Structure 1
Amino acid sequence: MISIRPARPGDEALVLRFVRELAAFEREPDAVEAGEAEFRDALFGPDPAAEAVIAELDGEPVGFALFFYNFSTWTGRPGLYLEDLYVTPAARGRGVGRALLQHLARVALERGCARFEWAVLDWNADAIAFYRALGAVGMEEWTVQRVSGDALRRLAGA
C-alpha cells in the first residue's frame, strides 16, 4: 500500500539520501553540496524555503518530492514548483511516482495554485513519456536559465 506523508523533523537524512540517489541517477553523483543541516533549515527552520513529502510502500520510505511556491504574474496566483521527485529503483513501476504527483496536484488545488510545474532532463525519455501520459505539456519554447557560483557573484557585483 502506498502512503504519502509530509516530511517531518528527523527526516533530513532520508531526504538527503534520496537527493544523493537522484543526483547519481541524473549523472551528477558529486554535485550535491547540501547536508542534513541545510535540509533541516530549508524544510523545518523558522522561514522554510521548501516542503517535502515522503512516499512509503508498505510502511517503508521509497521516494520523495520536494516543492515550493512560485508566482505567475499572468494569473496573479501562486504556482507549485516541483524541484525533485525520486522513487527508488525497486519501487518504480508500482504507482509511487503517480501517487506523489497526484498528491501534489491536490495540494496545488487546495492551496489555490494556478499551475503545477517542474523540469525534466531532455534525455529522460521514460519520465517524459510518463508525464505526458498524466497530461503534462512540455514548454518547448521556454528554456531554463541559471546563474550560480562565480557568475552569480559577478552579476551581483560582489
Structure 2
Amino acid sequence: MSDVTIRPLQQADHDEWRRLWTAYLEFYKATVSEEVYQTTWKRLFTNGEFEPKGFLALIDGKPVGLVHYLYHRSCWSIVNNCYLQDLFTAPETRGKGVGAALIDAVKQEAAKIGVANVYWMTHETNATARKLYDRVARQTGFIEYDLL
C-alpha cells in the first residue's frame, strides 16, 4: 500500500480540489452555485482567524481526498473550537487511511494554536465514515437542528 501524504491546499490544486469537493457534494446529494465554488476557493486562501482552511490527501502524487476546517469562538472556552466541515476520500481509496490522516492533520494543525476541540458531523446513514469516526473520536450524542 502506498503512503498517504497530507499537505495544505495550494493555488495550483484548484481543479483537483473542485473535482473532489464536487464528489463530496454529490455524495450528499447537494449542489452549490458557481459563486459558492469561487467564493469558497478564495476564502481558503484568505488570511484571517476565522477563514476556512484545507488540506489535500495524495497517494502516489494523485489527489484522493480533502478536508475543509475552520475555527470559531465559543462561550464555553477562551480558546477557539475547530469545526471539520467537509471530509472526503475518493471511493477507490477508502479504507487506506486517507480519512484518518486528514482528520489527524486537522487535529495537529489545531493543536499548534492551542485548540483541542475538533469536531464534525456526518449523516446517520454514512455507515462507512462512521466506522472510522467511531474509531478515532467519540460520539457526543448531540442532535443537530437547522433553521432553513
Percent of counterpart pairs with the same letter? 27
Match of residue 38 from structure 1: 39
Deviation of residue 13 (structure 1)?
Answer: 2.3
Separation in 2, partners of 1:137, 1:102: 14
For 1:38, the aligned partner's letter is T
CA contact (8 A) 1:81 1:118 kept: yes
Hey, what does 1:53 align to over in structure 2?
55
Q: CA deviation at 1:25?
A: 1.3
Higher relative contact order (CA 8 A, sep 6+): 2
1:16–1:39 Cα contact (<8 Å) kept: no
Q: Which residue of 2 aligns with 1:118?
A: 120
Instruction: Tell me the CA shift for residue 8 of structure 1.
Output: 1.2
Between the two proteins, the alignment pairs up a number of residues equal to 144
Q: Which residue of 2 aligns with 1:12?
A: 14
With normalisation by structure 2, the TM-score equals 0.87
Whether 1:143 and 2:144 are equivalent positions in the alignment is yes
Structure 2 match to 1:155: none
Is there any run of 5+ residues in structure 1 with no aligned partner, and where? 148-158
State the superposition RMSD in angstroms. 1.9
AA of the residue aligned to 1:76: I
1:11-53 CA deviation, whole Å, 9 max, x = no partner? 222222111101111233xx22245532331112365721110
Distance (whole Å) between structure 2 residues aligned to residue 77 and residue 62 of structure 1: 32
Distance 1:26 1:70 in 2: 24
What TM-score, normalized to structure 1?
A: 0.82
- Ranges of 4+ aligned residues in structure 1 off by more than 6 Å: none
The alpha-carbon deviation at position 90 of structure 1 amounts to 1.1
Please tell me whether Structure 1 or Structure 2 has the larger radius of gyration of its CA atoms.
1
Does 2:60 align with 1:76?
Answer: no
Q: Is the 8 A contact 2:107 2:116 kept in 1?
A: no
Output the amino acid matched with 1:3: T
Look up the SS of the partner of 2:16 in the other structure: helix
Letter matched to residue 133 of structure 2: Y
